[in-house]
Amino acid sequence: MKEDLVYSVMWTVYIQTSYGEGLLVLDTKDDATTDISLIMGKDFTEKYDKDNPTTMHHLYSLHNEKGIDGLVNSTCFEHVKQQNRKTLYTITNNSLMALDLLDFSTVGKNLDLSYDDELIFKPTQLSNQSNVILFINNGEIRFFRTKITVSVSGDYTVDKYVSVVRETSGVEPRLVFYDKKNQCFKKLDGYIAARSIANPFTYNASTDPFDPNNVTNVETLKANVGPSGNHYFVMRNKTTGKVQIYVLGKPGAKNVYDISSPELDEAIGFVICENQEVVYFATKNKIYAILLAGATPRVELRYTMPAGEEITHIDMFRQAWYLLNPRTYVSGVGYKVPMDSHEMLLLVGSYSPTNKGKLYTIPLTGINTGNIDEANIKSYGGFDKIIGTVAQE
């Protein structure tokens, strides 16, 4: 009876999933749908105490009885620790989805995640930027936490990708992109929000290696932050096919490299290192390093895949906490030391009709050398055609 109640207690209950810190691997079995697997192991999981890695294949279809419609081309992991909520955002060429990583259920899709009920979804990139998600859609820069808001102001059209500093302070400009409408580079400074304005760079004709406000007839192949917080862009001339790497920072143009290599015509993916002057690229069966630290850039072969295997994906392993809040890596409460594999482990997906999909992890050695530790390359099997990777914590 009620009068027998002495006292009551309320507490919050969190459900802990067995899907812990590790590497999410995205693959496709039919070139029309995407599935998600998880690898936990010493290269991907802090304080992993088992001798062998644990791989849980095709968790999305296990929980949903089918794959994600479309081919996922960009992902972003979010962890709200106060609520113990882990979310994976994914995009295809016409959709945005939010998945609860507790059970891979769908939190929302497209207009469920937008305040604009007329938004047309043609996304090209997702990324973390401090405590918000960066969403490049139909040439516009947008940010969101729970739902997509208005786009960043200005006369511009993003050419697929942006380079963004994930920290909240200390590095300027925060975001750089190639504006294909006006054929120039533009930037966002200071705290980034929907009210931010895309601005041109300053240019000094007597000292700067190129004019950021006049770069014509090119397309963006890859963009990312590199050493010293500078922004690196791998660009191809749409007429000649010539590849150049542009470097921008504060206050403007830093460098431009002409890259001469016939193998670039066959490139299927690029990786821009954040800790060294190296850009990797993959062809169907080889991995090359572009070395930028010397007087003249050099392209050198680093690895050839086993016979019959074709590369379908290349990326760099970066721990989830670093992507969420890299200031933790620098100083402050909760200071973290990155794993040895962080920013020093290439992730390469390969496929063959016989062996299906494999994930290779290729350790890097040294700084600015582009060298790999071939003796310690590992492979993980049981996948279909691998098309993406992202770390979760």
CATH number of 277's domain: 2.130.10.10
Quote the pLDDT of residue 380.
98
In terms of residue numbers, what domain contains 134?
17-306
Collect all residues with Cβ–Cβ distance below 8 Å to 212 and sequence separation of at least 6.
184, 185, 200, 201, 203, 246, 248, 252, 253
**Residue 16: pLDDT above 60?**
no
CA–CA distance, 54 with 380 (Å, rounded to integer): 10
What is the SS3 assignment for 291? strand
Provide the percentage of residues in the chain whose pLDDT is more than 90: 81
Q: Quick check: is 77 in a domain?
A: yes
Which has the higher per-residue pLDDT, 253 or 143? 253
CA–CA distance, 109 with 94 (Å, rounded to integer): 11
The predicted model gives 145-164 an average pLDDT of: 93
Quote the pLDDT of residue 315.
99
CA–CA distance, 77 with 328 (Å, rounded to integer): 17
Q: Quick check: is 326 in a domain?
A: no
Quote the pLDDT of residue 83.
67
189 near 172, Cβ under 8 Å?
Answer: yes
Q: Determine which of 187-201, 293-307, 337-351 has the lowest per-residue pLDDT on average.
A: 187-201
Quote the pLDDT of residue 3.
64
First CA to last CA across the chain, in angstroms?
46
The predicted model gives 79-86 an average pLDDT of: 76
Q: Quick check: is 295 in a domain?
A: yes
DSSP letter at 105 equals E
Q: Quick check: is 105 in a domain?
A: yes
Going by pLDDT thresholds of 50, 70 and 90, the confidence category of residue 168 is: low
The predicted model gives 349-378 an average pLDDT of: 97
CA–CA distance, 105 with 107 (Å, rounded to integer): 6
The predicted model gives 288-299 an average pLDDT of: 95
Structure tokens belonging to residue 233: 């862009």
CA–CA distance, 36 with 157 (Å, rounded to integer): 32
Picking from 90, 79, 154, the residue whose alpha carbon sits closest to that of residue 121 is 90
CA 20 to chain centre: 20
The predicted model gives 247-256 an average pLDDT of: 97
Going by pLDDT thresholds of 50, 70 and 90, the confidence category of residue 190 is: confident
Collect all residues with Cβ–Cβ distance below 8 Å to 353 and sequence separation of at least 6.
none
Q: Quick check: is 117 in a domain?
A: yes
Calculate the CA dihedral of residues 151, 157, 159, 163 and round it to 10 degrees: -50
Q: Quick check: is 362 in a domain?
A: no
387 near 71, Cβ under 8 Å?
Answer: yes
**Which own/partner pairs from 368-371 qualify as long-range (CB within 8 Å, at least 24 positions apart)?**
368/276, 368/277, 368/278, 368/291, 368/293, 369/278, 369/291, 370/278, 370/280, 370/289, 370/290, 370/291, 370/300, 370/302, 371/289, 371/302
Count of the separate structural domains present in the chain: 1
Structure tokens belonging to residue 65: 């009885």
Quote the pLDDT of residue 10.
67
Q: Quick check: is 372 in a domain?
A: no
Sheet with 148-151, edge to edge strand ranges: 123-129, 132-137, 140-144, 148-151
Q: Quick check: is 10 in a domain?
A: no
Quote the pLDDT of residue 314.
99
The predicted model gives 53-66 an average pLDDT of: 98
389 near 321, Cβ under 8 Å?
Answer: no
Angle at 190 between CA 170 and CA 318, to 5 degrees: 55
CB atoms within 10 A of CB 388: 22
**Residue 113: pLDDT above 90?**
yes
The predicted model gives 341-360 an average pLDDT of: 96
The predicted model gives 207-215 an average pLDDT of: 98
